[in-house]
């Protein structure tokens, strides 16, 4: 942030993302492709970079190869200007053990903070789809003198069991923080909603260092940001809440104001894509006043021949529709479709091939999946359940490189 405090960004990107399996079978959750061209981690990195936070460490651990490759190729910054986005793998700096939790990931990487000497450290998760201007949260943090400020939003109370639930006063001071409670408390003005943490934190450097050191000495701790560090800082009266609904994004409208999605399950990941291809999506990927950056592969433009057509869909570069038809779907770079094939309400990742006469409905096909001629996916749910992964919501998923059965 120009002229303001010196800010270091730490992005927690070591999550395993079990509930997104098979999409996370051989990649970390932040590396899961999204919206044709992007990976999930591009959202948080774009948010930070758009706010002029350009010194960022991305802490990785689980199956990090494709995440690491994506960050080093896409997010190369000019070191001449003192900017960097660097993936930091778990290095066992403090002995022969991997990160035991997200707080331990930062504790084991404290050298990054010592080297950078920031005034403020923003610690953000890497798994969510949203636009946020972190500078507005930092401004509140500095003005309040808090040790930590936690970004939060309202969700239906029934969904709050998956989150850190916050009870805050009018003065924004957090009175209680319950990590993933079985019975989340509702809000006084809205009993069916809870105020939950987005997993994005803004720390004064000293408060972060002190909390991490105390946590490291506690043998009973699970060394988790939400499970250990937040309750500790709340108990010392040092934690404040930042209400995400007050965050203003240039070019955003009433429709997508406050949009934030945890795409942690196949069904939520699928629904977020169906929103993108709807006629009036809630989330506007095309808002170029707050761009979401990535580096798409080099491909010629999409090509439609032999009657190939697409409606209500996003079609990336390098796609060739050689006679097939597409409705309500996202086609990533390099997808091929042959004569008389049909794809509806589906997400096709890079290099998927759809053979002549094949039908694909309500499906997610990971990279390089091959659907041979006349195969059927998403047509007979019982048959799909025997052959493929089918989500609770009935979405058929084929993992990377799989070949559909005819």
Please state the residue numbers annotated as binding site for alpha-D-glucose 1-phosphate: 164, 179-180, 197
Residues 6+ apart with CB under 8 A from 155: 163, 193, 194, 196
Please report whether residue 59 would count as binding ligand ADQ according to CB under 6 A: yes
Number of residues engaging ligand ADQ in binding (CB under 6 A): 26
CA dist 377 and 183 (Å) reads 39
DSSP letter for 193, please.
E
Site string for ligand ADQ, 257-276 (x = CB under 6 A): -----x--------------
What is the secondary structure of 66-113 as a DSSP string? HHHHHHHHH----GGGT-EEEEEE---TTSS----SHHHHHHTTHHHH
Q: Give the three-state DSSP class for 263.
A: coil
Q: Give the three-state DSSP class for 247.
A: coil
Tell which residue, 270, 255, 259, has the closest CA to residue 198.
Answer: 259
Q: Stretches 67-75, 98-106, 265-273, 314-322: which one binds ligand ADQ (CB under 6 A)?
A: 98-106
Site string for ligand ADQ, 134-173 (x = CB under 6 A): -----------------------------xx---------
Q: Give the three-state DSSP class for 314.
A: strand
Residue nearer to ligand ADQ on the CB measure, 29 or 273:
29
Q: Give the three-state DSSP class for 286.
A: coil
Count CB atoms within 10 A of the CB of residue 249: 21
Residues 6+ apart with CB under 8 A from 101: 222, 223, 224, 225, 227, 228
Residue nearer to ligand ADQ on the CB measure, 33 or 125:
125
CB of 388 to ligand ADQ, least distance (A): 26
Enumerate the known binding-site residues: 164, 179-180, 197
Q: Give the three-state DSSP class for 269.
A: helix
Residue nearer to ligand ADQ on the CB measure, 61 or 329:
61
CB of 32 to ligand ADQ, least distance (A): 11
Q: Which of 43, 99, 107, 203 binds ligand ADQ (CB under 6 A)?
A: 99
Question: Which residue has the CB atom at the shortest distance from ligand ADQ?
Answer: 226
Q: Which of 9, 14, 308, 318 binds ligand ADQ (CB under 6 A)?
A: 14
Residue nearer to ligand ADQ on the CB measure, 59 or 402:
59
CB of 261 to ligand ADQ, least distance (A): 10
Please report whether residue 12 would count as binding ligand ADQ according to CB under 6 A: yes
Please report whether residue 366 would count as binding ligand ADQ according to CB under 6 A: no
Token readout for 309 is 């057509």
Residue nearer to ligand ADQ on the CB measure, 141 or 223:
223
Binding to ligand ADQ, residues 176-195 (CB under 6 A) = 179
Please report whether residue 13 would count as binding ligand ADQ according to CB under 6 A: yes
Q: Which of 155, 198, 352, 395 binds ligand ADQ (CB under 6 A)?
A: 198
Residues 6+ apart with CB under 8 A from 340: 323, 324, 356, 357
Cβ-contact 126, 58 below 8 angstroms: yes
Please report whether residue 61 would count as binding ligand ADQ according to CB under 6 A: yes
CB of 12 to ligand ADQ, least distance (A): 3
Q: Is the link from the previous residue into 208 a cis peptide, with omega within 30 of 0?
A: no
Q: Which of 127, 133, 193, 338 binds ligand ADQ (CB under 6 A)?
A: 127
Please report whether residue 196 would count as binding ligand ADQ according to CB under 6 A: yes
Token readout for 89 is 């793998």
Q: Stretches 8-16, 321-329, 342-350, 378-386: which one binds ligand ADQ (CB under 6 A)?
A: 8-16
CA distances (Å), 32 to each of 35, 319, 350, in order? 10, 20, 12
DSSP letter for 186, please.
-
Q: Which of 46, 197, 228, 313 binds ligand ADQ (CB under 6 A)?
A: 197
Q: Which of 184, 226, 328, 351 binds ligand ADQ (CB under 6 A)?
A: 226
CA dist 343 and 358 (Å) reads 8
Please report whether residue 125 would count as binding ligand ADQ according to CB under 6 A: yes
Cβ-contact 45, 11 below 8 angstroms: yes
Residue nearer to ligand ADQ on the CB measure, 129 or 375:
129
CA dist 112 and 108 (Å) reads 9
Applying CB under 6 A, the residues found at the interface with ligand ADQ are 12-15, 29-30, 59, 61, 99, 101-102, 105, 125-127, 163-164, 179, 196-199, 224-226, 262
């Amino acid at each position: 942030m120009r002229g303001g405090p010196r800010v270091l960004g730490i992005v927690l990107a070591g999550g395993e993302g079990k509930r997104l399996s098979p999409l996370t079978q051989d990649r970390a959750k932040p590396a899961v492709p999204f919206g044709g061209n992007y990976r999930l981690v591009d959202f948080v990195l774009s948010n930070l970079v758009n706010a002029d936070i350009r010194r960022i460490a991305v802490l990785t651990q689980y199956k990090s190869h494709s995440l690491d490759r994506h960050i080093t190729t896409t997010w190369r910054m000019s070191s001449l200007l003192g900017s960097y986005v660097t993936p930091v793998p778990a290095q066992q700096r403090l002995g022969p053990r991997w990160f035991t939790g997200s707080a331990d990931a930062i504790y084991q990487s404290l050298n990054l903070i010592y080297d950078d000497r920031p005034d403020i450290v923003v610690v953000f998760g890497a798994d969510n789809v949203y636009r946020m201007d972190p500078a507005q949260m930092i401004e509140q943090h500095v003005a309040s003198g808090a040790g930590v400020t936690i970004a939060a939003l309202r969700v239906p109370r029934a969904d709050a069991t998956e989150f850190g639930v916050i009870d805050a006063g009018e003065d924004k001071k957090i009175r209680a923080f319950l990590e993933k409670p079985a019975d989340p408390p509702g809000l006084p003005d809205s009993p069916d909603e809870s105020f939950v943490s987005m997993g994005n934190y803004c720390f004064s450097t000293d408060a972060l260092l002190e909390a991490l050191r105390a946590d490291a000495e506690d043998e009973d701790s699970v060394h988790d940001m939400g499970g250990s560090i937040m309750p500790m800082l709340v108990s010392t009266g040092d934690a404040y809440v930042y209400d995400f609904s007050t965050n203003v994004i240039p070019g955003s409208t009433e429709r997508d104001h406050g949009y934030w999605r945890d795409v942690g399950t196949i069904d939520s990941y699928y629904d977020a894509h169906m929103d993108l291809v709807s006629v009036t999506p809630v989330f506007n990927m095309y808002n170029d006043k707050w761009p979401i950056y990535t580096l798409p592969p080099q491909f010629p433009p999409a090509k439609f021949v032999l009657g190939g057509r697409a409606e209500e869909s996003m079609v990336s570069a390098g796609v060739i529709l050689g006679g097939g038809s597409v409705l309500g779907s996202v086609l990533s770079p390099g997808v091929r479709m042959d004569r008389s094939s049909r794809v509806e309400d589906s997400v096709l990742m890079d290099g998927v091939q759809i053979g002549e006469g094949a039908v694909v409905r309500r499906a997610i096909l990971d990279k390089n999946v091959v659907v041979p001629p006349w195969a059927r996916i998403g047509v007979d749910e019982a048959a799909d359940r025997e052959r493929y992964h089918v989500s609770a919501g009935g979405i058929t998923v084929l993992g990377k490189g799989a070949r559909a059965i005819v």
